[in-house]
Structure 1
Amino acid sequence: MHPRVSDDRPDHRAAAVPPLLVPPPGYAPAPPGAACPQACCLAPELHVLGDAPATDLDSAPNAPADPDARARYRWKVGHQASIALWQLMNGELDGALASEEGEGEAIGRTARCYDLYSVLLLYAGSCSPQRYADTVRADMAACHPAFSGQWAADYRPLPGLVRRVVNGRPREHTAPLRDAVRGNQRIHAAVAARLVPEGTSLLQEAGRNPGASPTPKETAMFDAFFAVRRGPVCASGLRSQLRYRLALARGDLLVHGLFGPNVPWAAVEPSPDLVQTFASRAVDLLVHHIDDLTAQDAARSAPAVL
């Protein structure tokens, strides 16, 4: 299915991006049904998750029609989805380190999650460099002059967990994860180089050391900017929230495409071949993960067969 470009959709039909509820830093999601006051009902408008045909897209909630508003929307949806994804990836790698039983499946799922994260990076940073400077970067600078993605509490454990798994497990078992991490690093660097050609982050502009740990206030500021709330939530509730945001991104891409006609990824920009590979698979990867998350919950909620 080819993306159908349309910039005249009324914004009153734009999908809501509710606050994201995740456990506090250092806490894992509770087991399904345990210590979860949300009763796993955290994803609104669940009909968005359906595989709606193109003819139904006009009646489905979607991204704003205005390009500036859509840039902000994608930045928020992409980051919220990434935060939920990081939580799940941390859990997978913790499980792989705790027990060799099922570690192959956990490592494989984490590798696939890294590919999804690469798509989310492209989705969040898909606007033009000028639009990024005028909207998202300006918003972050207004929040704090040194605002940085390094303030994301849920990402910080991930690189260390990856190193422990890669260094502590047979090389042939970790090959897919190593490949996915390398690809993700290239995509991350490419998006950053494209959106900020001069290569200076807000953190660096503010004279801060990029390697310094953020303060609790800065971590809280990052959460507030992306409407992240902290509290008890079970694993099913976390997956439900991730599914919803992946479905929002999928619906957006089916209508507007990844890169608009005025902001293509030029061949002279970083990693064009790898970007094109992920861009061409973006909708399929989103759908695959929506289906996989749904299947995981279905398997956990199915009654035991005696």
Structure 2
Amino acid sequence: MDQETFPGWVARAAGATLEQLGPATLDDLDTAVRVRYSSINYKDALALHGRPGVLRRHPLIAGIDLTGEVLKSRHPRWKAGDAVTLNGAGLGEDLHGGLAGLAAVNGDDLVLVPAQLGPLRAAAIGTAGFTAALSLLALERHGLAPETGPILVTGAGGGVGSVAVALLAAARYEVIAATGRPAELSSQLTALGAAQVLDRASVLSSGKPLGKQRWAGVLDAVGGPVLAGALAGLQHSGVATTCGLAGGAEYPGTVLPFILRGVSLLGIDSVRTPPLRREAAWQRLAQLLDPALLDSVTRVVPLSDAKDAAASLLAGTGTGRTVVDVASA
């Protein structure tokens, strides 16, 4: 391994290029992983196309996910040959990431690939599905249950949203899926388990701080005006999680839903997740996700096509999950 070269997407301020790299490029961390798969998330799309807000150092191997086999490790939990996956934990932001043939990572952050999923499906879940599972766990810790009432999922056609719809439906929640492309995605979202599909425009705030009480919980993957509208439609004592900002980082709402209806808003950070919570999220994913449904929203591209595949996310036309077959450069 010490003399081996491998391909990887190296991101700089102006964008990313596919280059041949050596092990000396990698960070000095306790576990070396042969990367088999990565995936394309919104952060990856930003980094690959030179958009600001993701990279903490330059140059940096992109990719906030990886799935593969341990090559060697100084960490007591791991041995050569273990099938592992990792989401966030600084990959592709301040540590070299998963869009390359080799990676060096912190063993504390690794999770064993669930046997019922396997490496390809674990990669398809990726940070998007991991974030959806963290959101579900947060909602439930706050007291939400299927009998409480319907759950709104915003950005339902995207990576987080599509896995969230499937997870919530499998957990017996009534799921209301909101998307900006209802005509195009209604059949897909219904197949994933959505009881109702809404046009995103019907969720947007009408300008009034409070609207009709329509849902018991919200799993928001959009932010901006969509989040404000979703909160305005929460039932009394309802709870929402938020994890994305594709709709904007600004919150154009008021405090009235919080102080007149007693609603709660929980932020979801998938990057610095403690190990025990990582394990819990992956256990829930393995327990609930139907592999066939996951396959239905997954496409696989070679490493060389990663940058092109990311463009659809930036254009707002991406849907489901895109796995990068790193071994197929």
TM-score by length of 2: 0.28
Which protein is richer in helix relative to its size? 1
Higher relative contact order (CA 8 A, sep 6+): 1
Normalising to structure 1: TM-score of the pair? 0.29
Q: As a proportion of its length, which structure holds more strand? A: 2
